[in-house]
Amino acid sequence: MKMQSKYYIRKKFLNLTLVLFAMLAITAFANSEESEEPLKINHGNLVFEVNANLHTRLTSTLPGTKPIMLDYQPSEKIIIDNMMITDFALKDVKEKALKGELSGREWMVKGVFTKNGLKLEKYLKLIAYDDFPGLITREVQYVNASNEDVFIEKWINENYKILPQGDEPPFWAFQGSSSSSRSDWIKPLEPGYYQKNYMGMNDTDYGGGIPVTSVWRPDINIAVGHLSLTPELINLPTEMFRDSKVLVGISKEFGERTVFKTKDTISTLETFVSITKGDYYDNLARYSKLMQAKGIEIVEPEAAAFEPIWCAWGYGREFTMEEVVNTLPKVKDLGIDWAVLDDGFQVAEGDWRPASNRFPEGEDAIKKLVEKIHGYGLKAKIWWTPLAADPGSQALEQHPNMKIIQENGAPQFITWWNAYYLSPTKEETIEHTKNIVDLFLNEWDFDGLKMDGQHMNAVAPDYSLQNPLEAPQGLPDFFHMIYAEARQIKPNAVIENCPCGTCMSYYNMASMNQAVSSDPLSSWQIRHKGKTYKALVPKTAYYGDHVELSDNGNDFASSFGIGAVLGTKFTVPSSRENEESSKFLLTEEKEKIWRKWFSLYNEKMLSKEEYLGSLYDIGYDKPEAHVIKKNGSLYYAFYADSWNGKIELRGLAENTKYVLINYFDNIELGRIQSSNPFVDVSFKKFLLIEAQPSGDF
């Protein structure tokens, strides 16, 4: 049964503050016949032109910007009967004002294509929203004005080939898709590069993501994406050619021999192009603000989500209750506030009763463990993979129809868990899930949920439903249902969404109050994932995951400097042989390091403060830098294998003097004025600097 309301989409738009109409300077023509003059829209720093063939040219008025493209390009394409159609003769342009919460200007451009009996009408709707200068949206309608049916294969929007300018590397790119390789979300591009960036399932367990591609040179950033309020099964391909030009776009592929009937209309999604300066941060932040203005509602932050975390995963799935309980005193002693019971407590995925070999007293043992955790003044979180159920599990025995069914009639399998996908919009799945939330938070008294698994990020179409796409498009509602149920039981519950290694679906971000770097493969991933989350959901707690997953297993600095919550899965000596847990043993030497970082974290609490993501380009600026603002002071984090030379402290207030402190080593580095924000430093791996305003020079 379909869930009736889009929980994560607001019923009313936000009240947006209108900007002066002077920000939107427009030249246009209307009701023209075969006009050769272009439609020209100046919106913020973006100049957007459409010519008589309905091709597009982008330029920018940003200072120092070099050409983006040499000439007009066919930014919309459609493939009909194996023919790619790009040229439509301009027939008409109409312009009108948009009023209301999302005010702006709208243009409807009509074009026609005729060839060998095929006639298509194209209606290109362009919108420039007042509150989003530098961003233009488009939606295209194609009408089959022929007298016969045809076959449609694909439509393409926002298709731009962008010029390099001799930089090295020529471009960096943020790509929001997920894959089983768990690759970096941002990377430098090189000739021969191609990535499809499909937003559906890319492997049995992996799919979904952020429907935005952002490519940049040192002088300009160009982002494209779509603005649907539900996940869509589309591509955002990125390609670099031998001449280092980069091609981006958005495409929808249709099934084999899809009929486009005579007189019917096909509509694309509302897509956008956005231009900023710097790396991907500003364009992602702009995208998220526009999505929220259109109706996506991000939940409010939770104070407890910023508190540091210890997880029992260091002991692995074969942990004992004794090991967990014996670690709690050290957890408390180090200033950590959360203890997480991880995978292994359960009989099976989908059968969430306590495993008898670890908890012979059954549920009473779990309750006693939670009491022990609370007895140390700690909060308790429990691991859970809500969309997986093992064959033969209690869940599937009681509700066999919960499974997602593929087009071939077989259940959708999750290879990592050897389990089946549950269909998120079926009433049986919803009721089963509500019961588990009640079990964990009400009956067992946990304070939060660690929802885990790369398969949670997206689901495949469910062909047991009347509309198979109801499953992937309804997944965000499923997570909001969990969030709402949990917060009703415990108003301060922390809801962590950990889609292991995937680029988390933007739509799922709306219903969690703790993001996580989610099994990072490097410290670099911890940092750039943090920058991504802080652009999209800036007030939400971002957890850097277990420090043991960072470079050398001890890089607290990467989490600390990006403004992430610190976490660890250290172990203490155990009465049993456990090769896995011995790797994470908290030795006397390690304890000194752990104690210092957790003490510094609790003292500064930078994870709650404002992250200034626009100040440094994470790709081109060296050394890599991040900045957090707190109470007038700026906290800089610099990263490099080794650095000896000048660094620039950006973002200082005008006409202000500062004292600089290496606050990790408690060393004063000198004093500077904002008019000359440079200082010579030498460091390896990281340098943390606090710039304190000082009127006394």
How much is the average pLDDT of 499-528? 97
CATH (one of 3.90.420.10, 3.40.930.10, 1.10.287.540, 2.70.98.60) for 21-287: 2.70.98.60
pLDDT value at 270 more than 60? yes
Report the pLDDT averaged over residues 478-486: 98
Token pair of 98 as six digits: 């948009």
What six digits make up the tokens of 112? 């026609």
The pLDDT score that the predictor gives to residue 1 is: 38
- The pLDDT, as a whole number, for residue 9 is 58
- pLDDT recorded at residue 321: 93
Helix (H) or strand (E) holding 450: strand 448-452
Q: What is the pLDDT of residue 522?
A: 98
Give the residue carrying structure tokens 């009023």. 99
Mean pLDDT along residues 146-158: 97
Estimate the share of the chain in helix, then strand, then coil, as percent rounded to the nearest 5. 20, 35, 40
Name the average pLDDT for the chain.
Answer: 93
Helix (H) or strand (E) holding 189: strand 186-189
Give dist(CA 50, CA 39) in Å, integer.
Answer: 5
CB-based contact 203:421 (threshold 8 Å): no
The Cβ of residue 243 has, within 10 Å, a number of other Cβ atoms equal to 10
Three-state secondary-structure class, residue 692: strand
Give percent of the chain with pLDDT exceeding 90.
92
Nearest in space to 481 (alpha carbons), one of 420, 418, 438: 438
**pLDDT score at 33:** 40
pLDDT category at 576 given cuts 50, 70, 90 is: confident
What is the band of 256 on the pLDDT scale with cuts at 50, 70, 90?
confident
Distances (CA, A) of 95 to 27, 41, 92, 107, 126: 10, 11, 10, 4, 9
Give the pLDDT mean for 377-406. 97
pTM of model > 0.85: yes
Mean pLDDT of 293-311: 97
| Torsion angle, alpha carbons of 429, 432, 437, 443, to 10 | 180
How do 39-43 and 46-50 pair as beta strands?
antiparallel
Instruction: Over range 413-423, report the average pLDDT.
Output: 95
| Per-residue pLDDT, 578 | 73
Q: What is the mean pLDDT of residues 384-388?
A: 97
Q: Which helix (H) or strand (E) holds 220?
A: strand 220-226
How far apart CA 606 and CA 633 sit, in angstroms, is 11
Indicate if the pLDDT at residue 56 is higher than 90: yes
Whether residue 533 is predicted with pLDDT greater than 70 in this model: the reply is yes
Kindly report, residue by residue over 600-646, the tens digit of the pLDDT: 999 999 999 999 999 999 999 999 999 999 999 999 999 999 999 99
Report d(CA 312, CA 321) in Å as an integer.
10
Does the fold of domain 624-693 match that of domain 21-287?
A: no
CATH of 624-693, one of 1.10.540.10, 2.60.40.1180, 1.25.40.10, 3.40.50.150: 2.60.40.1180
Closest CA to 601 of 562, 632, 551, 652: 562
Whether residue 29 is predicted with pLDDT greater than 80 in this model: the reply is no
Calpha distance 444→372 (Å, rounded):
12
Query: By three-state DSSP, how is residue 447 classified?
Result: coil
CA 263 to chain centre: 39
Mean pLDDT of 317-344: 96
The confidence score (pLDDT) of residue 580 equals: 74
**Which residues share a beta bridge with 73?**
56
Cβ atoms of 211 and 176 within 8 Å: the answer is yes
Q: Do residues 294 and 102 make contact, with C-beta atoms less than 8 angstroms apart?
A: yes
Long-range Cβ contact pairs of 10-13 (< 8 A, separation 24 or more):
10/295, 10/296, 10/297, 13/100, 13/101, 13/102, 13/293, 13/294, 13/295
Band of the pLDDT at 696, cuts 50, 70, 90? low
Q: For 376, which DSSP code?
A: T
Residue spans per domain, the chain: 21-287, 303-386+425-458+467-610, 624-693
Distance from C-alpha of 218 to C-alpha of 239, rounded to nearest angstrom: 19
Per-residue pLDDT for 251 more than 60?
yes
User: Distance between the two ends of the chain, CA-based, in angstroms?
Assistant: 69
Res. 675: pLDDT tops 50: yes
pLDDT band at 354 (very low <50, low <70, confident <90, very high): very high
Q: pLDDT band for position 592 (50/70/90)?
A: very high
303-386+425-458+467-610 under CATH 3.20.20.70, yes or no: yes
Instruction: Determine the Cα–Cα distance for residues 525 and 528; give it in Å rounded to an integer.
Output: 5
What confidence score (pLDDT) does residue 283 get? 98
pLDDT of residue 2: 40
Q: Is pLDDT of 308 > 60?
A: yes
pLDDT above 70 covers a percentage of the chain that reads 94
| Number of Cβ atoms within 10 Å of the Cβ of 654 | 6
Contact 286, 549 (CB under 8 A): no
pLDDT of residue 582: 83
pLDDT tens digit string along 109-133?
A: 999 999 999 999 999 999 999 999 9
d(CA 481, CA 495): 12
Q: What is the pLDDT of residue 34?
A: 42
